[in-house]
């Protein structure tokens, strides 16, 4: 079943310029196997879930939700529970401590920003350290993260 939605667009853009006639409508197509709802009900139901495929993809790719290698059923349940806790902790961390521009990032992007950073091991003997290449995004994110952690600590200690 196909449900097609035709929505009128404003006649002018933000700059006040008139738009061409062929761009006065926006179209959306929904493909579904639900046959007991009207077209309007399908639109209202599906329109609120437009990002669900991205969340499912993040669970599969970022947290290996589609992989259960344990032989015992109870072990698999525990394994999935640990993955759910990790997913929820990751979402809490993003929304609580990271800059607002990073709230929508998936775990793959967070890993690339924080963990997959190019660096060199420097020093000799017992004194060795890692020297990272300059990264403006990482520096800005860590500065924000330090401030957010300090503010969080103050809120927790005061309460």
Give the three-state DSSP class for 93. Answer: helix
pTM of the model as a whole: 0.56
pLDDT at 101 over 70: yes
- pLDDT score recorded for residue 148: 92
Q: Which residue has the higher pLDDT, 83 or 19?
A: 83
- The average pLDDT across 131-142 equals 85
Q: What is the mean pLDDT of the chain?
A: 81
In whole angstroms, what is the distance from residue 151 CA to residue 18 CA? 48
- pLDDT score recorded for residue 85: 92
Q: Which two tokens stand for residue 44?
A: 């209202």
pLDDT at 144 over 80: yes
- pLDDT score recorded for residue 20: 57
52 φ/ψ angles, rounded to the nearest 5 degrees? -65, -35
- Predicted confidence band at 40 (pLDDT cuts at 50, 70, 90)? confident
- pLDDT score recorded for residue 141: 87
- Percent of residues, the chain, with pLDDT higher than 70: 84
- Furthest C-alpha separation in the chain: 73
CB-based burial, 38-70: b 16+ in 10 Å, e otherwise: eeeebbeebeeeeeeeeeeebbeebbebeeeee
């Amino acid at each position: 079943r196909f449900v097609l939605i035709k929505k009128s667009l404003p006649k002018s853009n933000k700059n006040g310029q008139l738009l061409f006639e062929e761009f006065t409508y926006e179209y959306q197509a929904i493909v579904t196997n639900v046959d007991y709802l009207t077209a309007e009900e399908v639109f209202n139901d599906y329109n609120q879930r437009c990002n669900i495929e991205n969340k499912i993809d993040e669970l599969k790719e970022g947290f290996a939700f589609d992989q259960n290698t344990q032989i015992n059923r109870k072990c698999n349940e525990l394994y999935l529970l640990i993955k759910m806790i990790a997913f929820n902790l990751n979402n809490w961390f993003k929304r609580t401590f990271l800059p607002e521009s990073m709230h929508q990032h998936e775990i793959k992007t967070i890993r690339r920003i924080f963990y997959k950073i190019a660096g060199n091991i420097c020093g000799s003997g017992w004194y060795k350290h890692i020297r990272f290449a300059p990264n403006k995004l990482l520096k800005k994110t860590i500065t924000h993260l330090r401030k957010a952690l300090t503010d969080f600590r103050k809120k927790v200690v005061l309460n």
